[in-house]
Each structure stands twice: as C-alpha cells, then as structure tokens.
Structure 1
Amino acid sequence: MKKRTVLHGTNSLILLLVFLGILIFINMIVFRHKQQYDFTATGFYTLSPQTKIIVETLPREVKLTAFFQTGSPEKSSFQDRMQALIESSDKLSLSFIDPDKNPTITKKFGITTYSTIVLESGKKETQVKDPSEANLVNGILKVIKDEQKVIRFLEGHGEKRISDEENQGLSAVKESLEKDGFQVENLLLLQAGEIPVDTKLLVIPGPEKPIAPEEQKIIEDYLNAGGSVLLLLDPQSKFGMEELLKRWSIDVPDSFVIDPMSKMFGGDYAAPVISQYIVHDITREFVLPTIFPLLRMVKAEKVDGVEATEFLQTGSSSWAETNLIALNEGKSQFDEQADFKGPVSVAVISTREIPAHEPKQNSADDNANIFTDTSKNTRQARLVVIGDSDFVGNKYFNFSGNGDLFLNTTSFLAEEKNLISIRPKERKNTPLSLTQSQGLFILMLGVFTPALVVLMGIRTWWRRRSL
C-alpha cells in the first residue's frame, strides 16, 4: 500500500514538472515573439494605416513628453495606446513627467493641465491637450514638417465655402486639412488678379456660375507651369470651363449617373455608392465605400502630351442619364442610343510633364513662373475632376470613405504621399455596462464555478488519501 502511494506521488510530481516545463516554454516563446491583439469593437488600440505610414517614415527623431499624475487611470490608458505607436519607429521616444512632483519642468513647458503631451523635433515644439491618435498624428506632422503647404479654395462663383458650418459647407474639410498640416485659405481670383506664389493646390468646389475667361487664363497658366487643380463639378453646373478641360483630355457630358444598386446600401438610385476602386495612388489600399448624393459623368479623352486616367467608376448596372427632363419627372430609363452604359467614369486625373527649360507661360500677372523648379528635368502639372461636390459637404464628409477619398486626392495633388491612406477616426473607449442579472451570471461563472471545481478536487483528494 505504501509502495503504491509513493508511486502515485512520483507520477504526480513528474506530471507537475512536465506541466511547469510547458508553461516556461510557452512563456519564453511569447516573450521572444511579442504579439498584441485588439478585441475592442472600435479598434481602440490599433493604429490607423495613415498613422503607421507617417510614423514609419519619420525624417528625424520626435520626442514625446507626457504630463500625467503617477498611477492615474489616464496614464495607464495612454501607455496602452502608445505602445504600438512607439514600437513602430525607433525615431519616437516617450517619457513621463508627474506635474505634482516636477513643478520646475512643468513650468518650463508651460503646462497647465494634466494629460498634456509635448512633442519636440529639431527646433519645433507643439502641445497636444487631448492625446487621441488623430491629435497626436497632427502634432507629429506639425513638428516634422519644415514647410506648411498652402491649399486655396476658389470663391466668387457660388462655390461651397470653407467657413460655412451648415450641411452644404466645407468647414469639416478645412478642419481635416489643417489636421494634416496644410494651411487653408480662400481665393477670390478676380480681386487678387493672380494665384499667390505659395499655392500648392487650387480647389474649385462646386461652381454654380461661369468662371470668367480671364480667370480661366490664370488657372490654365498655373497648370501649364506645374500647378495642381482639383475641380469638384456638380450635375447641370454652368461652370464655363468645358473647353479648358478638353485641352486637358477631360470631357464632362451634361448628365446624371443612375445606379439602381445603390438601393442595397440604403441610398437613392440617383446617389451612387462606389465600393470598388481602380488601382491608383489616390485609392491605394482604399476599401471604404463612398456615396455621391448627385453625380455626373467625367470621362477621359485622348490629347497629345496629356495623360488622363479614370480612377473612379460606378457599377456595371449604372448608366449616365442624358434626358434630364425625364429624370426630373421621375421617368428615367436607360436609352441605348442617348445614354452611357455603366460602368460610368466619374473622376479623372490628367497630368502633363513639363520640361524645366520650357518657356514660361505669359500672363498679365506673370503668374506662371513661380512654379519653375530648375533642379528637376521635368515638373508635373496635375488636374483632377470629380463629378460631385456634395460628397465632401459637412453632411456627408464623415460618411464612410467620403472624407478619406477627398483628403487622399488633395494629398496626392499637394505631393504629400505619406498622407494617402485611411486616417484615424475618433475612437471612444466605451465602458461595458451590465444589468444586474448579467452581473450575477458573470459572478457565478467567474467565482462560483471555479470554487465548485476546487471543492470537487479537494473531495477527490481526501477520498484517495483515505484509501
């Protein structure tokens, strides 16, 4: 009997040692191959694609100093969220300062509130009061950019305004561009008489009235000298630039795009939803659907010396309706003779390579010479036309991929390729709320069930001991 007890004890010891060995082995593997999983519903601890690109391509070191109270929940949460960011680049460093214990350093940086982050790179410095991912990325861009590029929005022809906070306004566009590090301004071209020398991109957001010939001359001179223009063009718009666009390989037939499949996305047949994209730098890794409340056809033509690419198309069941009278009466039907069968192109990018030695375009304001870069053999003029402006209005800007598509387009035209991606969204760390019955169930599952298993184990051990 004694021999059997010793043998049983030896077997138990061997099993225990094997179990401990397995645990140690698994722990070593986990330690050497760190892997973090984010099971939050909103991806609270997962970096957005844009953040990853920006952090992985930092041109120089960025130092982050975080001012939190020692042991505070806010500090713990911030550390968890920053882990993936810091591990993404060896050019990012993070240190913590307790304002209560280090008043001298706190005063030096001018810190007045907890949870403030100071970002430093070279001689540049900025502060972030609300350390969300989007705000931190904005702060990083501010301290690493040596030049703040200027984007100007044309006005004077009924265009949407960046100061307008109503549904049709573009205040959300302005705010997002500024977060990406751009300076955003209005431009009344007839009054200014020229496109300022520091304009990196000119946006024409939904003109409702014809753009005057003298204005068109300035705009085309700007393009011919290597400038970039983004034209958002609504259906039935009398914008007056048709001939200019044709010289740049772009045709905009007077039409409305109809897509019956939009009903599947909860939309209207006259509000196409695009969910598949033609491969281009602007739509690189882009998977979010975009909705266009009213959309017109924009197609590429052939012009010598100009390369035009269609980069947005509606589905195969769509068509471009040219009978606008029938459309207004709600009697729209596809006419094989007059309409354009889908897929329908609704966005075109047109580029022209301009030799550095090419004579400058002459204009009354001598506006074109400002874009000459003699350090390069060529420079590229870029013109993008999209058949809708409502999709970036405040009402639709934050819908799915609308904002990202617009911002990717402006980043491409402004030659900021590291900004072309899916941007961080405002993520909320929502606490789990349980009802009384749910809490009781978890208590039973997490406490009573393990306790029952332990009691059964003790009972079994006691019975064997008594044998």
Structure 2
Amino acid sequence: MNNKEKRPSIESTKFNFSRLAFSIKQNIRSVKQGVLLSGLLSIVLGFIIWIFLRDISQIGLWFILVGLILLILLGLLAWRSMLFFLFGRRGRYGLNSSIIFLTSLGLIIVINSLLYWLVSQPNQPEWLRVDTTATKQFILEDQAIKVIANLKEDVKITVFIATNTPEKAAGWRSIEDLLLEFKRRSKKVDLSYERIDPELDPNSAVKYGVNYFPSLVIEAIDSRRSQIIKGRQGTTIFSEQDIITGLLIVSQIKQKKVIFLTGHGERDITDFDQNSKGMGLIYSDLMTQNYKVLSATSQELAILLSEENIPAVVVIAGAEKGFTIQDSAIISEYLWLGGSLLVLIEPELTPEGIKTFLYKFGLAVGEGTIFDMASFVAPKPSYLQLKKTNGQILPHEITKDFDVLYLPGSTYIGSAYSPDTIPITENGEPFVKHVPLAFTTLESWAQNTQENEPIKYNSESDALGPFPTIMLIEAISEIGKSPKEKPDGTLAQTAIVVIGDTDFASNKYSSSAKNADLFVNSINWLAKDYELITIRPKTAAFRELVLTKSERDFIRWSGWLLMPISVGIAGMVSWWRRR
C-alpha cells in the first residue's frame, strides 16, 4: 500500500450532506440499540433487586421505572420500526401472541384481585378458605367460632410487636393470618386489629400498661374492659387459645372455680420445679383457660358449700393419708349439690378412705402397680404407654384426638358390681354408669412393689390384665341409696373421673404426649364447660425432605438452568424453522 492510497482525496474532504445524514442515521441506530439494551437490563436488574433484596426493594422499583422510560423513549424515536414490527407479517404473529398473553395475564390478575377482595370481606363464602394442612393450622376450631358469635360488643385487638428483623416480620405475618381469620369470622360485631411498634411508639404501650414485648391487648370498645396477653418466643407467638381466653375475659363470662383438695398429702399446685412431683404447670394450664384455681381443705370446702358457693370441680390429686369419714361426707354433699370430682390415684399409697368413698359408686381401686410387657417405656415396665393404635385409648370427648398417653406408675380401676346388678329407675336409667377410657394390654399384671419381690408375674398373688386405668362415672345416686330430687323436680346428677396414676400430671411428666390434655380435658368435661372451652394449641406437622448433596445440586441447577435452557432451545428451534 503506497502513500497515495492512504492520503484522502480532495473530494472526500468536501462537505457532503448525504454522507452526513447517512452517518447520523447509523449513529442513531447504534443509540437505539444502546437504549434498548439499557432499558431491558434496567428492568431485569430492578426485578432481581425487588425480589431478592427486600431491604432495598425501593431501589429496584426505580430501576424498573427507568427501564420503562427508556423503552418508551425508544418507541418514540423508532416509531416507524415499531409500526413495521407490529403490523408486518412477523409482527402480526407476534402481536397475536402478545394479545393472547396479555389477555391471559389480565384475566389472572382480575381473578386474583376478585378473590383477594372476597377474602377480605367479613361475610365471605366458606369455600374461599380451605386449609389443607394436616393439623388445620389456618382455620379456627368450631368452639372458637361459637365464642366469636356470642360476643356482645365490638372488640379491638392491639398487637405490640416490632418488625425490624426477618424473624419478627415473619412472626407478625403469622399473627396477622390468625387475627384476619378472627376478623372474618366475626359477623355480629366489629372485631378489628392493629399493630404498634413499641420501639417507634412507646407511649401507646405505656397507655395500655404493656411492659413486655411482644404482647397483645384485647379491648371491649363499649365497656372499656381489656386483657393483656403476653407472647411467647418462637414460631407460635400467640395461639388461637390465647385470643379466645382474652375474648372470654373481656366479655365477662363467669369464671368457674376448680378446687384442689389439701390436707391428705396431695400434690402441691404452687410447686413449679419442672423436675418435681408438684403440679404447678397444670395450675398454669388451668389459669390460661380462665379458670379460678384454688386449694382448700375439706373444712374450707364445707364452708363454701354452706355459703352456696359451689365449685365447678374438686380435684383430689394423689391423697396418701388421713381421708376420714367426715371428709367423705363433705365430698358426697358437694357432689349432690351439683359438683363434679377428679380423683388421681397414687398406687399402693391410696388411703382406705378414698377407696371406701369410690366404692359407694361401685368402683374398686386395684392393689399394686401395673406392669405391661407389651407397651411400656423402656427400661421400666411400670411406665405404661397407652396407644390408640393398640386399641388402648377408647373414643370419648375427654380422649378426642389422643394418640398416646404415658402413665409413669399406675394402678387399675375396676367395677365392683356387674352392670346387671346396678339398680335402675322406673325409666330404666341406672343409678351408676361406668365408662372406661383406657386399658392396658393382655400382657399386663398388677404386682405389689412394696414387698420387694422380683418384677415377675405370680399367678398365685398377682392379678392379670388387661386393666382399666381411666374410669368415668356418671351417677344419679350412690349404690344402696335413692336418687335425690332437685327443687325443679329433676334428679340430681354428678360425674367423677378416676385416673389410676398421679405422676402423669406432675411437672416432670405433664408435657409428655397428651398428658396435660388428659387432665385439662377431664376438668372441661366435668365442669360441663360449654362456654369456657378448651382449644388445644395446634402442632405443625413436620415433614422433612432429606436429600443427598448430589440430589440437592441436581434440584438447584435444574431449577436455575434446566428450564431457562429448555425455553431458549425451544425458541431457537422455532426461530430457525420460521427463518
């Protein structure tokens, strides 16, 4: 190449308008491509920030807005190309596809918006909310719905919880789901809720007297009655049970009394040591159910009866000594004044006075401790495991939904009379009816452990199972006596639940399986508790997907790459065929 070829000609240095227009057109085309690329990248980046970086999601929205502005600007600069793209042969195919896509997307948005609006309405159709979880985590119990229906005035629930961490934000979402369900179920009165961040608005917390967080305040609007419910740490901060208890209190539904009898070596309800034989944890469970829980001697119970102050339930929790005839007479008087009784037996230590009292109702307390070689908690055959799958737990309101119970040391409860020998009324109603609720297996026997003999069945001295360990009594009279009429002409009735073990309800064992539920359910049933209901906390069914490292990698990379690559290949094939 010589110098003459490198040197520009005189003609090429002269101003040429057509050449300038062509150069500007080429540069504008490059600018358009840059604007298109910048707009698309800005939108994609904005979506990534908005979806994955929630703390700076506002910045992602700005990126999306800038990208849309750039694309609109591109459309204004290249409107001829846009018209050709839309109304050309290929454009018409693309336009049709775009219309179908946008129509489908719009229809989905409209349907979702309609469903969201319906769900937020208080009188929404029942079919809109379906809970497919194993333990029905997101719908209220039937009893809770009845309580809401009986509310007489508007209620406001104020939740004091911060949301400045992911854990706290997740906790608030769970609480809001629960409160929204309460709100939508309240059709007669207005049940509203709001959240207050105590860190941003501490004065509101002081106004309500809240000094623990998270907490919620349930307030009756007209009467101004309020109840503070303290939250828990963990995933379930407030339960359905907590809110129902607060609603019952602010609605001033009368508290029922549960009396724990003392003076005979019974368990201590003020002992909260988690490894002790005390029953402080059961006491707390009953208090959360809005019961008024007290302890009293037989003489103090007699004073209450003389004042016509009848407790709903009296509990004899593991009496070991000194149950006299006078004590028995006071309990009998209480029962026929409309009371109910829960008796927990202490194997081999139960005083004769308790046995004699129960014998009046045709019930015999067994001798010795039960050993069950077919269903026990190793290594102790006396630590009974009662399983529904073995047919050991019978269906009843008290044992509803029970799968397993643990009795760390139990005796047996049997009927002293054959059912056909029990007296009946003219209407055919038996004076006493026994309903067993739980049994041991065929491989069980009762043995007296105080004799220091080897733990082995002795056909000469030991009783052979299966044995009832929980017995329910419904009676209109004691055996050998006549039914009593009440002032309204109906027969006096009473109910007794007898459980062959006391330790199951102690602090050490009450949290095992359904042990605490057995005790509280018995109280509910004996108290005929249709208003002050018990709603058990729902447990989330844990279903873990266990994967190896290679399986995890396959799921990760197939989710990230397989679908995009498949769509890309399908697009390339379609483009190649149309080309």
TM-score grouping bracket, smaller chain normalisation: 0.7 to 0.9
Q: CA deviation at 1:13?
A: 6.8
Secondary structure of the equivalent of 1:286? coil
Q: CA RMSD in A?
A: 4.4
Q: How far apart in 2 are the matches of 1:257 and 1:338?
A: 10
Structure 1 pair 137–237 and aligned structure 2 pair: CA distance change class (3 A)? same
CA contact under 8 A between 2:215 and 2:228: conserved in structure 1? Answer: yes
Q: Of the candidates 278, 303, 306, which is equivalent to residue 169 of structure 1?
A: 278
Q: CA deviation at 1:148?
A: 1.4
Deviations 1:380-402 (A, max 9, x none): 22222111111101111011111
Q: What is the match of residue 224 of structure 1?
A: 336
Q: What is the match of residue 246 of structure 2?
A: 139
Q: CA deviation at 1:449?
A: 3.6
Q: How far apart in 2 are the matches of 1:36 and 1:352?
A: 43
Secondary structure of the equivalent of 2:243? helix
Q: How far apart in 2 are the matches of 1:436 and 1:340?
A: 54
| 1:308 aligned onto 2:433 | yes
Aligned-partner residue type, residue 264 of structure 2:
H
Q: What is the match of residue 297 of structure 1?
A: 412
Q: Of the candidates 19, 41, 66, which is equivalent to residue 159 of structure 2?
A: 66
Of the structure 1 ranges 23-32 and 395-404, higher mean CA displacement relative to structure 2 is found in: 23-32
Structure 1 pair 56–385 and aligned structure 2 pair: CA distance change class (3 A)? same
Structure 2 unaligned blocks of 5 or more: 1-87, 119-126, 232-236, 424-429
Q: How far apart in 2 are the matches of 1:290 and 1:120?
A: 38
Q: How far apart in 1 are the matches of 2:565 and 2:292?
A: 65
Q: How far apart in 2 are the matches of 1:16 and 1:425?
A: 43
Q: How far apart in 1 are the matches of 2:185 and 2:548?
A: 40
Bigger share in helix:
2
Tell me which structure has the larger Cα radius of gyration.
Answer: 2
Q: Of the candidates 362, 383, 389, which is equivalent to residue 249 of structure 1?
A: 362
CA contact under 8 A between 1:296 and 1:346: conserved in structure 2? Answer: yes
Deviations 1:134-157 (A, max 9, x none): 432332332234211111111222
Q: How does 1:191-230 map to 2 (within 5 A)?
A: 194-195=303-304, 197-230=309-342
Q: What is the match of residue 263 of structure 2?
A: 156
Q: What is the match of residue 366 of structure 1?
A: none
Of the structure 1 ranges 207-216 and 69-78, higher mean CA displacement relative to structure 2 is found in: 69-78
Q: How far apart in 2 are the matches of 1:407 and 1:211?
A: 25
Q: Of the candidates 281, 302, 307, which is equivalent to residue 397 of structure 2?
A: 281
Deviations 1:155-188 (A, max 9, x none): 2222111012242110111000000111111113
Q: How does 1:60-459 map to 2 (within 5 A)?
A: 60=151, 61=153, 62-68=155-161, 73=169, 74-90=171-187, 93-98=191-196, 108-111=207-210, 115-121=214-220, 123=223, 124-130=225-231, 131-133=237-239, 134-164=241-271, 165=273, 166-189=275-298, 194-195=303-304, 197-240=309-352, 241-263=354-376, 268-276=380-388, 277-283=393-399, 285-300=400-415, 301=417, 303-304=422-423, 306-322=431-447, 328-333=453-458, 339-342=463-466, 344-353=467-476, 374=487, 377-417=490-530, 423-424=536-537, 444-459=557-572
Aligned-partner residue type, residue 349 of structure 1:
L
Q: Of the candidates 106, 118, 129, which is equivalent to residue 35 of structure 1?
A: 129
Q: CA deviation at 1:219?
A: 1.5
Q: CA deviation at 1:14?
A: 8.9
CA contact under 8 A between 1:75 and 1:115: conserved in structure 2? Answer: no
Aligned-pair identity (%): 24
Aligned-partner residue type, residue 84 of structure 1:
E
Q: How far apart in 1 are the matches of 2:209 and 2:365?
A: 55
Q: How far apart in 1 are the matches of 2:570 and 2:506?
A: 66
- Higher RCO by CA contacts (8 Å cutoff, separation 6 or greater): 1
CA contact under 8 A between 2:371 and 2:447: conserved in structure 1? Answer: no
Aligned-partner residue type, residue 257 of structure 1:
I
Q: How far apart in 1 are the matches of 2:339 and 2:364?
A: 20
Structure 1 unaligned blocks of 5 or more: 362-371
Q: How far apart in 2 are the matches of 1:224 and 1:313?
A: 27
Deviations 1:397-421 (A, max 9, x none): 0111111111000111122145666
